[in-house]
């Protein structure tokens, strides 16, 4: 498949061309929603296949929807045409559409696996769906945790693996003819990667050029580390970098599909699911790498924002991380507020929760002791009849109760830690017992 941006016809500019050798046909997709089918022998026009829908009165209306991509099966008996919002399966033998599949949002890439015949479609929000031949049924699907409308999109020489170069400096790989999965290569010190403006390929070796720096990397089963070479421009010496350290994670099929499958039973449900799963790239990335300290930092920053969606996602992530470490989210927030280092947030949260439990145990012991003594004093007051003894006992009772009130209150106020038990009801009970004991003696 070769790009032909300079060729024009009455139906617009051609976006792609594909040659069907055994049928001697040329299929040319245009940016005006038309596929022109020509004979490669004399280049005479054979057919024009238009992207047409019916209006509310049942009348055909042509839709100007550019052809995103054209692809053929291994036997070259079928051609798949991917428009902006619909995909077609076209019979080469009959030169007619045998299947059409509406897409609920803008398509940025569509292709077919030459060996399997299975179809992969990627939309602008980052949704990838895999279909059986001729779009009979959707086999599986996944959702990238980011939109891909601004990425640089390439494919390997078999046209079955997608390469996404993201504005954040990441290289994403995803298969379209197998159960979907992602391998992500992150370049944290290479934020200009998206600015590469020229790329070409030889087999599976890719070249990226920007501002005099040439990066070369290979996409085999495990892509190699990009090498940077200076191309002789003296004013960009500060851009020379060493080999970039990077890390990868391969999300297993079962786990990924379980978390990110989009049912798409209706367009509204799809949009609702997309909204629920749209997590910040940095947040998702760190969460999968178990880099919980940084993730907590991002999440808490989102909690402070006015965006309701960001707040909801942040609470969910904090809850998941808290559950993983068996610590209350309250102590995660408390630790973040009182920790100077992101790396120690989880450790400090566990420390504060243990300290809170210890303080609560001490408070419970002190409260039980004070209540026990108060009840004993109240019962003892029944047996005192002498006026002098009444006075002394009243003074002792009031003193003991107030000492416990002060001790409990001081011990409680000493620690500014979450989840310390509420002592107000206990203080009220002790005060009531003190009054009851005194009244019982007096009357």
- Of 238, 239, 185, the C-alpha closest to 214 is 239
Q: Is residue 432 part of a domain?
A: yes
pLDDT in tens, 189-221: 344 444 433 344 444 555 554 444 555 555 554
- The answer to whether the pTM exceeds 0.85 is no
Q: Is residue 322 part of a domain?
A: no
* Range with lowest mean pLDDT among 145-159, 310-324, 325-339, 366-380: 145-159
Q: Is residue 252 part of a domain?
A: no
Q: Is residue 262 part of a domain?
A: no
Q: Is residue 254 part of a domain?
A: no
Q: Where are the beta strands (DSSP E) in 219-348?
A: 227-230
- When the pLDDT of each residue in the chain is averaged and rounded to a whole number, the result is 64
pLDDT reading at 31 higher than 60: yes
pLDDT in tens, 286-313: 444 456 776 777 677 777 766 666 677 7
Which token pair is 32? 């005006």
Domain with 399, as residue range(s), is: 354-442
pLDDT in tens, 231-268: 333 322 333 232 222 222 223 333 322 332 322 233 33
Domain closes at, from 211, 239, 267? 239
Residues 30, 162 within the same domain: yes
For residue 327, the model assigns a pLDDT of 83
Domain closes at, from 178, 212, 239? 239
Q: Is residue 338 part of a domain?
A: no
pLDDT in tens, 391-401: 676 677 777 77
Residues 228, 360 within the same domain: no
- Count CA atoms within 13 Å of residue 321 on its CB side: 33
Q: Report residue 233: phi and psi, to 5°.
A: -95, 115
For residue 130, the model assigns a pLDDT of 82
CA angle in degrees (0–180, nearest 5) for 204-209-213: 120
Q: What is the CATH number of the domain that holds 191?
A: 2.130.10.10
For residue 277, the model assigns a pLDDT of 44
Q: Is residue 86 part of a domain?
A: yes
Q: Is residue 320 part of a domain?
A: no
């Amino acid at each position: 498949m070769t790009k032909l941006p300079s060729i024009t016809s009455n139906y617009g500019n051609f976006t792609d061309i594909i040659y069907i050798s055994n049928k001697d046909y040329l299929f040319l997709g245009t940016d005006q929603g038309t596929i022109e089918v020509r004979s490669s022998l004399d280049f005479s026009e054979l057919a024009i296949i238009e992207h047409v829908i019916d209006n509310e009165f049942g009348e055909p209306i042509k839709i100007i929807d550019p052809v995103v991509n054209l692809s053929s099966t291994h036997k070259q008996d079928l051609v798949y045409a991917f428009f902006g919002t619909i995909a077609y399966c076209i019979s080469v033998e009959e030169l007619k559409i045998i299947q059409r599949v509406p897409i609920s949002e803008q398509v940025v890439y569509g292709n077919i696996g030459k060996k399997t015949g299975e179809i992969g479609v990627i939309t602008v929000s980052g949704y990838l769906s895999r279909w059986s031949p001729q779009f009979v049924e959707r086999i599986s699907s996944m959702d990238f945790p980011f939109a891909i409308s601004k990425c640089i999109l390439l494919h390997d020489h078999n046209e079955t693996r997608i390469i996404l170069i993201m504005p954040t400096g990441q290289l994403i790989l995803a298969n379209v003819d197998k159960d979907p999965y992602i391998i992500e290569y992150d370049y944290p010190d290479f934020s200009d990667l998206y600015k590469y403006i020229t790329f070409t390929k030889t087999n599976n070796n890719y070249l990226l050029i920007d501002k005099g720096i040439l990066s070369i990397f290979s996409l085999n089963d495990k892509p190699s580390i990009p090498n940077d070479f200076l191309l002789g421009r003296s004013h960009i010496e500060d851009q020379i970098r060493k080999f970039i350290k990077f890390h990868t994670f391969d999300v297993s099929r079962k786990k990924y599909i379980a978390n990110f499958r989009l049912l798409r039973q209706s367009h509204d449900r799809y949009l609702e699911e997309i909204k629920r799963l749209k997590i910040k790239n940095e947040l998702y990335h760190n969460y999968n790498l178990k880099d919980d300290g940084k993730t907590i930092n991002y999440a808490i920053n989102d909690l402070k924002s006015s965006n309701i969606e960001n707040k909801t996602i942040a609470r969910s992530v904090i809850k998941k991380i808290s559950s993983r470490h068996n610590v209350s989210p309250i102590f995660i927030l408390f630790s973040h507020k009182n920790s100077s280092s992101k790396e120690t947030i989880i450790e400090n949260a566990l420390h504060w929760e243990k300290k809170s439990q210890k303080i609560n145990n001490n408070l419970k012991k002190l409260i039980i002791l004070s209540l026990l003594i108060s009840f004993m004093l109240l019962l003892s007051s029944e047996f005192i009849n002498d006026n002098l003894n009444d006075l002394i006992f009243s003074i002792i009772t009031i003193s003991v109760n107030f000492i416990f009130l002060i001790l409990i209150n001081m011990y409680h106020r000493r620690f500014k830690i979450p989840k310390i038990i509420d002592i107000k009801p206990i203080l009220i009970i002790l005060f009531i017992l003190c009054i009851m004991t005194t009244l019982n003696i007096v009357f």
